[in-house]
Amino acid sequence: MQREKMLIRGIVSLLILDILLESELYGYAIRKKLLEEINEPIPNGYIYVILKHLERKDCVRSRLKKSNKRTVRLYTITENGKRLLFEHKNFLEKMTIISKKILTDIERYR
């Protein structure tokens, strides 16, 4: 179970970095995009834990911005974040191939 949580956290981290390639976003917007991408709700707290972790690793940067009488924290991917994402390209391609094979086998032997 612990490995599964670590794998999910890693994949969600990469997905957040991928989302931030497009534009600077605040946490709620990141959560909405994640929901669109994976069609699975992710708790707000979980997203902010991952964003803090990515910020400590210098993969994202945040800044505060006034918006409609309140302050929001906007997140941007850094060069380190881009490098981390691009370094995982081969891994993600291999995981896609392996996942497709497993899913095909499951359907065939069902």
pLDDT in tens, the chain (110 residues): 577 777 778 889 999 999 999 999 999 999 999 999 888 888 878 899 999 999 999 999 999 998 788 899 999 999 999 999 999 998 889 999 999 999 999 999 88
Q: Determine the 3-state secondary structure of 42 from DSSP.
A: coil
Question: What is the rounded distance in angstroms from the CA atom of residue 12 to the CA atom of residue 41?
Answer: 12
Please tell me the predicted confidence (pLDDT) of residue 3.
76
Please tell me the predicted confidence (pLDDT) of residue 29.
94
Provide the CATH number for the domain around residue 93.
Answer: 1.10.10.10
47, 30 in Cβ contact below 8 A? yes
Question: What is the rounded distance in angstroms from the CA atom of residue 100 to the CA atom of residue 72?
Answer: 40
Pairing of strands 60-67, 70-77: antiparallel
State the total domains in the chain. Answer: 1
Q: Radius of gyration (Cα) for the chain, nearest Å?
A: 16
27-38 vs 2-22: helix crossing angle, rounded to 10: 110
Domain residue limits at 101: 2-109
